[in-house]
Amino acid sequence: MKKYVHNFSAGPCILPKEVMQKAAEAVIEYNNSGLSIIEMSHRSKDFVAVMDKSFALVRELLNVPDNYDISFLQGGASLQFTMLPQNLLPVGGKVGYLNTGVWASKAVKEAEFYGETIQVASSKDKNFSYVPKDYSIPSDLSYLHLTSNNTIYGTQLKSFPETSVPLVCDMSSDLMSKVIDVSKFDLIYAGAQKNMGPAGVTLVISKKGIFGKSGRKIPTMLDYTTHIDNESMFNTPPCFSIYTCMLTMEWLKNLGGIAAMEAINEKKGKLLYDEIDSNPLFLGTAAKEDRSLMNVTFVMKDPSLEPEFSQMAKERNLSGIEGHRSVGGYRASIYNAMPIESVQALVDAMRDMAKKHA
């Protein structure tokens, strides 16, 4: 048997071992049906039960109010970048975006196809190493778009603006990692492949009554109401991805829910950031007040030592810690399912590297 691999990949995410086991079993046969979860009809009693439970778990774990709809869609967060302005930006209207990274920039680009799009603030001037603060929000925006966590640059919004403008948020990389107040937002969306499950499904939580006001014709598949009215089954949904998300949410519930998960994530983050700040060889790249608890970015003060540390990481089965090409250095993604033992293994490697070069 191969030695345990510590999976720090930025996505697709690490998943709990018990979830992987149950998902693997269901691929062979699900619920004594004689059928695999990936071959049974999405209209079957068994799979409809999976959908119903998935909806219920989202509502329970996130405390989603009754006046919000829940949808499981396809196309990733990237498709949401264009669905949002199509559905929520009225003809002749204006929307605002807080630009905190690559994915926020991509969302801005898509919105510009549909109407006036302004950046209320941006951290591009310092390679997105911080989250802008004290910016003004125009009162005539149809919505303000935020990105709660920035996987590439390792920054995270610690709070959300108080405003009368409708808020929309891409929470792809930190949804279900910490407690949030869903009622503050008109719409939340998140690709599942960071904390919830495998790639292929996107969760959307939307306030009832916000659609149908754009004044534009929207293609059927890009109209949110199509999927809400059909309970996410207008076409064949990504069945296996949704099933695995259900298993992951069950795991999270059994762990004690999102508040319990948040406490664990804070402990993991503190362990790694404390080492970065105290170790003479390493330096964090994100502003301390904006550091992400999901994606920890850091570099070596002496870049010539990086090949040696990368080799050490490889030998110790620390997988996926290479930084994004736009930042360099290292990135340790410590999503919900990442055990603190793996974080400790990375910290031990950093300490051993420092001892070697003391």
The residues assigned a catalytic role are: 103, 170, 194
Cβ-Cβ contacts under 8 Å for 314 (sequence gap 6 or more): none
Identify whether the C-beta of residue 330 lies closer than 8 Å to the C-beta of residue 297.
yes
142 alpha-carbon distance from chain centroid: 24
User: What is the rounded CA–CA span in Å between residue 86 and residue 81?
Assistant: 9
- Phi, psi at residue 259, to the nearest 5°? -60, -40
Alpha helices in the chain (DSSP H): 17-28, 45-61, 76-88, 102-111, 224-229, 239-255, 258-278, 306-315, 340-356
User: What is the rounded CA–CA span in Å between residue 82 and residue 232?
Assistant: 18
Q: Quickly count: other Cβ atoms within 10 Å of residue 141's Cβ.
A: 23
Residue 17 to residues 1, 13, 14, 244: CA-CA distances in angstroms?
A: 16, 12, 9, 12
Cα-atom radius of gyration of the chain, to the nearest Å? 21
Identify whether the C-beta of residue 90 lies closer than 8 Å to the C-beta of residue 215.
yes
* Residue 133: strand pairing partners: none
User: Which of 70, 265, 269, 69 has the alpha carbon at shortest distance from 179?
Assistant: 265
Identify whether the C-beta of residue 99 lies closer than 8 Å to the C-beta of residue 123.
yes
Cis peptide before 161 (omega within 30 of 0): no
